[in-house]
Structure 1
Amino acid sequence: MKTLISNDLQVASCTLQQLLDTTRVAIPSTNIKGQLMIPEYQRPYVWGEKQLNRLLNDMAEYQADQAVDKPLYYLGSIILHQDGDRLKIIDGQQRITTALLLQKINQPAYKSGIVFNNSLSIKNIKYNLSYLKSVHNKEIFDFRDCEVISQTDFDKINITVVVTSTEDLAYTFFETQNTGGVRLDGSDILKAHHLRAITSKKIVNYQAKRWESIASENVENIVQQLTKIRFWDNRHWKNFPFYRDRDGIKEALIEEFTVNTKNDFQDISFYYSAVKKEHGRLLQMHESSYKQLKQPLSNGNNTLDYISDYINLYEVLFKKANDYRIDDSFFEFNEKVVHGWYGTLFLKELYQVAIIAYVSRFGFYRLFEAALWLYRVIYSMRVSMGRNVREDSVYKFVYDNQFIDNILEVYTVDELLLFLKKFHYEFNTDNAEENKSKGHHLNTLNGYFEGLKPVDYYRESPRDFDKDFMQSIANRIKG
């Protein structure tokens, strides 16, 4: 047993058995003691067969090593916050919960005292316990030739326990490391950051359940899109990392939505409004029910509500396709024309960002009309370039044309549409063939718009393409 003790931090090396020995932890030779518990704001227990198999394989390999002096199996660090007589699990919930399932199989009468309230956690616990029982009963092929669960000895598993006196210090560790298992996304970290800033347990539960009801990939996707919009401000432009740079994206999300959020806890939101003067009266009209995208954000409810509102908007626009406030033509257009095929994945993402920006500025007013003209400008890159559109080309396009700024900073829809219609580009004839990406793109357009010609025609008469396309858009809007 090794321990380092200070006023704010205790670090101890112990066995997993010592951590889980009783319903109330009391690690020998330390001041670490209390009831392990999972804070309300923690994400659910989400390990599945992939993570279980990885752990079981590692332990089976360790058990197969017959060396007499082999070190203990190291399970990583566990980060806890000492809150009175409670030890809140800040990092390590997935491993601790899995260890409790193994303990349940080997010692059915064992009780940890940890209470699980999250419905998703309970569902995954039941499934994983059933799976581990199947492994124990040799019903899983990969583990038929070993006794990995029955031979698991928590006295031979080593962990590092980090116990802090404050949540802030605990999350300093939590937000700067990953100790295996399911990798924390940037959205996981910012959610935990803002939930712990809320003092009301009732509101914490409400916000946590609201986030957990949404598919995690949607949360991560929309938070990335919001970060792009906030970065793509020509007054103080920031480069958003490329999609392969997962660590860079994670750092960008954390910086924008935790480091840069204010700690004043004021729940102030900003909206776009217009004031109409009529017969001596001033009538204020909200042009959109959505918060301004680039508004300053405060820790707690303010940031969580902001993100949740835009997650909801993303689902309304691009997932549900049946909202009564939106013209069905918009959903039909998205379904038939907007896709990420044939070198247009990054264009689709920019289109979605642009639509979100438009709705944040003008609501659903004239959305279908704006969507078609936004599409023309964004997808001009598909026909004006000689190759597939790369991510860096999209970022340069946004910067050079102050594209997001021009959506958010105009005063009227007509002003925006004029900007979009005046945009000029030229059809590039490179790779303009029926069986290549430009041909596939033209076939998609021809399946929705009337008045466009085959790609072979525009290879010979490239100047006609945009003229025909603009007329086709105008005709489609007229119906």
Structure 2
Amino acid sequence: MSVQVATCSAAQLFSGGLLAGHALATDGVVSSSGSLIGGELRIPEYQRPYCWQDKQLDGLLADIQSHAERHTDLPYYLGSLILHQEDGKLNIIDGQQRITTLALMACLLDTSQPQFKELVYEHPISQQQIKHNLKWLKQRFSENAEKWQSLVDLGKLQFTLVITQSEDDAYRFFETQNTGGVRLGGPDIIKAHHLRAVEKVHQPQFAKQWEALGTLDCTVSALLKGRYWQGVRPRILPSHRQKKQVRDSIVAELAQQTGDGEDVGYGRIRRYAGLGGEVHLQADQQGYEVRQPLNAGINSIRYLSYFQRLYKHYWQHPDLPHLRGYQQFVEWLKGLEGCGYLQGLYEACLLLYISQFGESQLERAAKKLFRVVYSRRVSNQKAVRENSIAAFVREHPVLDWVALSYTPEQCFRFLDAFKLSVDPSNLETESVKKRYMNQVNRQFELQLDEAQYKSEFANALTCKVVGGEL
């Protein structure tokens, strides 16, 4: 499947930005592969007619107004447009209703935009609805022309373009937008967004750098947990089953809400003062902070590259002869049964720790984090459900304990103060819970009989991890 992805503003869409090589193409659109996207927008004859009613128009205007009032400097994301590229044309497979509505707005608010004239509507229903909607919009805009002229800024209305060379592929994307199957993920959308923010001369270089990263889904998931689950500004992270909401969260957090500026990596600096008052500075962190503010373009690309490298190096494919104990422990941990949701939180904690403290006392940190994060496996009666993870973090802000610590020792004090407990339910049979406790018993050499799990497991593991026997 050959697919190109790009971020495009409505202003580019209507000003010839998609006509590569055309006299009107003053602001070309570059895809995620670094190539210039070209073609004339066209509505295929077999497409359904334009049919948006007053309700849809009113809803779109309300959303644009609400966004503009809450986020004055951020673009408003209008979703993806699915286009089929064929013989110099870009056939609109999905997005006709939005494009047409914006074209009507452009007609009334910005007469300098000529390119929407290329769209031809031959269906009588489309022609009738366009006349009606033009009249409706004209009436709405006349109530406060200056306000709407300011709110409907085509340069701040953004789409993600999905361009395929095959009509079948285009429709596969279209048909699976709200179901399973092939769908455009959040990392794909933010890729297009940030490459577009890079100077054109450097776009091919950063496009290749991004491609070399591989699949970013796990890293992005860990970063979202680290950024969402914090005590200062806690936010609800959608369930992994809510595909669209997860995608929207990724796009909002790692694309739409990024600023304009340089490639900045935030970190902590140690200040040593001598007896004479002289000051010496030492910077331990060399990369980026999980929760730091981001700027569009190179800054966000390098931020994601940095954490992808950490994820691969220390979790996904660790090859660390100098950290053999740590490597053996995480390889064992990844094989635990029935702990997928806990593992997701653990990965976020681990990335936070390594980005702040590097390899300093990493094996101890890994085991102390394990005692806290995986406690749900024994404190719950049965299965660990996804929604229980967010509740656990609210009650025990383990991500904050790591993020707000200045030294590994300070972090360890937070982790060691956590009280581990065991719910005695479901230990009589060969349950997942009991098998988990058997594995932990062997791994940490707790030397417990199964009959002792109810009364001794929590204390034995705590003594082993907190008491300095690691």
TM-score (norm 1): 0.64
In structure 2, give the amino acid aligned to 1:41. Answer: S
In structure 1, give the amino acid aligned to 2:194. Answer: H
- Given that 1:74 and 1:158 are in contact with CA atoms closer than 8 Å, whether structure 2 keeps it comes out as no
Tell me how far apart the structure 2 counterparts of residues 332 and 364 of structure 1 sit (CA, whole Å). Answer: 15
Tell me how far apart the structure 1 counterparts of residues 197 and 20 of structure 2 sit (CA, whole Å). Answer: 27
Equivalent position of 1:321 in the other structure: 318
Equivalent position of 1:296 in the other structure: 293
Tell me how far apart the structure 2 counterparts of residues 402 and 457 of structure 1 sit (CA, whole Å). Answer: 30
The partner residue of 2:326 within 310, 313, 330 is: 330
Structure 1 residue ranges without an equivalent (≥5): 1-5, 12-18, 27-31, 45-70, 78-89, 101-111, 115-153
The partner residue of 2:235 within 206, 229, 238 is: 238
Residue 215 and residue 447 in structure 1: after superposition, are their counterparts in 2 closer, same or farther (change >3 A)?
Answer: farther
C-alpha distance after superposition, 1:199-237 (max 9, x if no partner): 1422x1222112212322xx1221122122111121111
Tell me how far apart the structure 2 counterparts of residues 307 and 283 of structure 1 sit (CA, whole Å). Answer: 31
The partner residue of 1:39 within 8, 30, 33 is: 30
Tell me how far apart the structure 2 counterparts of residues 308 and 197 of structure 1 sit (CA, whole Å). Answer: 16
The partner residue of 1:174 within 148, 154, 160 is: 160
Equivalent position of 1:418 in the other structure: 413
Tell me how far apart the structure 1 counterparts of residues 201 and 222 of structure 2 sit (CA, whole Å). Answer: 30
Equivalent position of 1:392 in the other structure: 387
The partner residue of 2:464 within 458, 466, 472 is: 472
Equivalent position of 2:433 in the other structure: 438
Equivalent position of 1:453 in the other structure: 448
The partner residue of 2:270 within 274, 279, 295 is: 274
Matched residue SS, 2:443: coil
Equivalent position of 1:215 in the other structure: 214
Say how many residue pairs are matched: 357
Tell me how far apart the structure 1 counterparts of residues 34 and 245 of structure 2 sit (CA, whole Å). Answer: 22
In structure 2, give the amino acid aligned to 1:213. Answer: A
Tell me how far apart the structure 2 counterparts of residues 40 and 10 of structure 1 sit (CA, whole Å). Answer: 18
* CA positional deviation for 1:176: 11
Matched residue SS, 2:30: coil
Equivalent position of 2:364 in the other structure: 369
Tell me how far apart the structure 1 counterparts of residues 208 and 175 of structure 2 sit (CA, whole Å). Answer: 25
Residue 409 and residue 158 in structure 1: after superposition, are their counterparts in 2 closer, same or farther (change >3 A)?
Answer: closer
Equivalent position of 2:183 in the other structure: 183
Residue 337 and residue 268 in structure 1: after superposition, are their counterparts in 2 closer, same or farther (change >3 A)?
Answer: closer
Tell me how far apart the structure 2 counterparts of residues 8 and 301 of structure 1 sit (CA, whole Å). Answer: 22
C-alpha distance after superposition, 1:155-191 (max 9, x if no partner): xx99969698799759723279963574211111111
In structure 1, give the amino acid aligned to 2:423. Answer: N
In structure 2, give the amino acid aligned to 1:183. Answer: R
Equivalent position of 1:107 in the other structure: none
Tell me how far apart the structure 2 counterparts of residues 159 and 429 of structure 1 sit (CA, whole Å). Answer: 55
Tell me how far apart the structure 2 counterparts of residues 319 and 455 of structure 1 sit (CA, whole Å). Answer: 32
Matches within 5 A, 1:70-89: 73-74=46-47
- Given that 2:258 and 2:296 are in contact with CA atoms closer than 8 Å, whether structure 1 keeps it comes out as yes
Equivalent position of 1:285 in the other structure: 282
- Given that 1:261 and 1:299 are in contact with CA atoms closer than 8 Å, whether structure 2 keeps it comes out as yes
Equivalent position of 1:194 in the other structure: 194
- Given that 2:255 and 2:296 are in contact with CA atoms closer than 8 Å, whether structure 1 keeps it comes out as yes
Tell me how far apart the structure 2 counterparts of residues 409 and 428 of structure 1 sit (CA, whole Å). Answer: 30
* CA positional deviation for 1:348: 0.8
Which stretch shows the higher mean deviation, 246-255 or 268-277? 268-277
Given the alignment of the two structures, is residue 307 of structure 1 paired with residue 304 of structure 2, yes or no? yes
Tell me how far apart the structure 2 counterparts of residues 423 and 283 of structure 1 sit (CA, whole Å). Answer: 36
Tell me how far apart the structure 2 counterparts of residues 308 and 369 of structure 1 sit (CA, whole Å). Answer: 26
- Given that 1:234 and 1:405 are in contact with CA atoms closer than 8 Å, whether structure 2 keeps it comes out as yes
Residue 233 and residue 472 in structure 1: after superposition, are their counterparts in 2 closer, same or farther (change >3 A)?
Answer: closer
Given the alignment of the two structures, is residue 249 of structure 1 paired with residue 249 of structure 2, yes or no? no
Residue 427 and residue 255 in structure 1: after superposition, are their counterparts in 2 closer, same or farther (change >3 A)?
Answer: same
Matched residue SS, 1:172: strand
- Given that 2:82 and 2:161 are in contact with CA atoms closer than 8 Å, whether structure 1 keeps it comes out as no
In structure 2, give the amino acid aligned to 1:384. Answer: S
- Given that 1:340 and 1:346 are in contact with CA atoms closer than 8 Å, whether structure 2 keeps it comes out as no
In structure 1, give the amino acid aligned to 2:292. Answer: Q
Tell me how far apart the structure 1 counterparts of residues 464 and 11 of structure 2 sit (CA, whole Å). Answer: 71
- Given that 1:273 and 1:285 are in contact with CA atoms closer than 8 Å, whether structure 2 keeps it comes out as yes
Matches within 5 A, 1:153-172: 172=158
Tell me how far apart the structure 2 counterparts of residues 214 and 449 of structure 1 sit (CA, whole Å). Answer: 35
